A = this chain, B = another copy of it.
Amino acid sequence: MSPGHKKGTDMANAPQCADCKRINEVLSRVGDRWSVLIVISLAQYGKMRFNQLKRHLGISQRMLSLTLRELERDGLVSRTYHPTIPPKVEYDLTELGQSFREPVRALGMWALENLSRIDEARSRYDAEAEQAKKSA
């Protein structure tokens, strides 16, 4: 397989619990940043073209192409090629991709709602760490 882009952990022979392995497997598939962002974009705007996605996401065309292929392979995204000149390719969510929107949105909403709280916790933590360092 091409350079870069290979997912999943193997960790020699991880003796972990079956559930974790399962979930791990799952996250390895659709869990990366770009996949999620692509799905969200398509969900929001419908059919999109390659460069349109590229500009919208601020993703390098390498990662876009790689990730789109994976998503197509996983059956979340459909790719339609129009052999015109210049060529035109449109990407869209499949049924499966659509069904993925909900959980993703839930996670996104939580994140948006709690980002500030996380930031607070961080500064608090960092401040305390700073204190601890001074009294050394």
Of the listed residues A14, A27, A41, A115, the one surrounded by the most CB atoms of chain B closer than 10 A to its CB is A27
Known: A9-B33, A33-B9, A103-B106. A75 touches B118 (CB 8 A): yes
Task: List CB contacts (< 8 Å) of A54-105 with chain B.
Answer: 55-60, 72-76, 96, 99-100, 102-104
Which residues of B are found within 8 Å of A20, using beta-carbon distances? 37, 40-41, 56-58
> How many monomers of this protein are in the complex?
2
Which residues of B are found within 8 Å of A118, using beta-carbon distances? 29-30, 74-76, 96
**CB pair B37 A24 closer than 8 Å:** yes
Which label, helix, strand, loop or mixed, suits the secondary structure of the A interface? Answer: helix
Nearest CB of chain B from residue A96's CB, rounded to whole Å:
6
6 smallest CB-CB distances across A and B, nearest first, come from A75-B121, A16-B58, A14-B58, A26-B111, A103-B107, A103-B110
